[in-house]
């Protein structure tokens, strides 16, 4: 895995450590009127494939920050440098499983009424420990789950400026 970022609104908009261009790219997902789970693929700078997994509130429910303020969301960005996946659905399945095993119940609480709430207030705590822990979970799933393994799925990326969306 070449790059991995976690972002959202645990207590104001935050993201794991990244360069300024990546920060500006990730900020575009702070959209308060979206609902549900979104899966997007973007090609940036001609040699990066970003697989972005976003969790917004369910229809009619609330996604609250750590202080109980509504309007939050959670996101993960899985980045491949110089390569892309011929099977992006497998990467989104990997990110969904990562969310289910490492995020839900530890970082995000989900309630039976559909509401969600951040359990932490700072993504940068302990020098980006949260993003590193989730990235370790991704690596664990890649190594232990054959159905999520990306071996044979990656190809060199051609210079492109197009974006594709998967929802």
Domain boundaries, the chain: 3-166
107, 123, 12, 109: CA torsion to nearest 10: 0
126 confidence band (pLDDT: 50, 70, 90): low
Buried b (16+ CB within 10 A) or exposed e, 109-148: ebeeeebbbbeeeebeeeebebbeebbebbeebeeeeeeb
Report, as an integer, the average pLDDT of 7-17.
93
15 confidence band (pLDDT: 50, 70, 90): very high
Provide the pLDDT for residue 166: 46
> pLDDT tens digits for 34-63?
899 999 988 877 688 999 999 999 888 999
Provide the pLDDT for residue 51: 94
* Cα–Cα distance measured from residue 122 to residue 129, given in angstroms and rounded to the nearest whole number: 10
* Cα–Cα distance measured from residue 118 to residue 13, given in angstroms and rounded to the nearest whole number: 12
Q: Is the pLDDT of residue 161 over 50?
A: no
10 confidence band (pLDDT: 50, 70, 90): very high
80 by Cβ neighbours in 10 Å (0-12 / 13-18 / 19+) ranks as: buried
> Which of 29-38, 70-79, 112-121 is least confident?
29-38
Q: Is the pLDDT of residue 162 over 60?
A: no
Q: Is the pLDDT of residue 165 over 60?
A: no
* Cα–Cα distance measured from residue 80 to residue 54, given in angstroms and rounded to the nearest whole number: 18
Counted residue by residue, the chain has a size of: 167
């Amino acid at each position: 895995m070449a790059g991995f970022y976690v972002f959202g609104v645990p207590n104001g908009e935050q993201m794991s450590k990244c360069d300024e261009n990546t920060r500006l790219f990730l900020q575009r997902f702070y959209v308060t009127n979206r609902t549900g789970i979104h899966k997007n693929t973007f090609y940036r700078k001609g040699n990066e494939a970003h697989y972005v997994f976003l969790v917004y509130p369910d229809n009619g429910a609330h996604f609250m920050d750590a202080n109980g303020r509504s309007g939050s969301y959670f996101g993960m960005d899985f980045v491949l440098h110089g390569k892309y996946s011929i099977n992006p659905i497998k990467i989104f399945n990997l990110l969904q499983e990562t969310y289910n095993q490492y995020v839900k119940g530890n970082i995000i609480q989900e309630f039976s009424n559909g509401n969600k709430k951040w359990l932490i207030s700072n993504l940068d705590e302990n020098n980006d420990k949260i993003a590193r822990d989730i990235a370790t979970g991704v690596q664990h799933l890649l190594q232990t789950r054959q159905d999520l393994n990306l071996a044979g799925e990656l190809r060199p990326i051609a210079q492109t400026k197009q974006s594709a969306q998967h929802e």
